[in-house]
């Protein structure tokens, strides 16, 4: 299981969706695919940073670097 999948599962779809102004179904796609959008890898968005911040309250924090690493691996595996 990717860090992205587990972090989103622990935090919940709604809190993340609310933070970005998205619907939970958009965040569900990230969770199901185990990756964040490519825009985060390019530095155009800060999804990993915010998810890392939100994960601190779960007692099982993840880092921005872990989220980006797993996102990069998932995108590379797709290509």
29-46 tens-digit pLDDT: 999 999 999 999 999 999
Residue 55 in domain: yes
Q: What is the pTM of this model?
A: 0.93
Residue 29 in domain: yes
Q: How far apart are CA 17 and CA 38, in angstroms?
A: 18
**pLDDT digits over 10-25, tens only?**
999 999 999 999 999 9
Cβ–Cβ under 8 Å, residues 31 and 3: no
Residue 65 in domain: yes
Residue 18 in domain: yes
Residue 21 in domain: yes
Residue 78 in domain: no
Residue 79 in domain: no
pLDDT at 78: 77
């Amino acid at each position: 299981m990717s860090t992205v999948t587990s972090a989103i599962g622990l935090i919940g779809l709604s809190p993340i969706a609310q933070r970005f102004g998205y619907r939970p179904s958009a965040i569900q796609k990230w969770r199901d695919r185990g990756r964040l959008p490519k825009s985060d890898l390019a530095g155009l968005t800060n999804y990993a940073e915010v998810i890392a911040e939100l994960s601190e309250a779960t007692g099982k924090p993840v880092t921005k670097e872990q989220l980006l690493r797993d996102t990069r691996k998932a995108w590379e595996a797709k290509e």
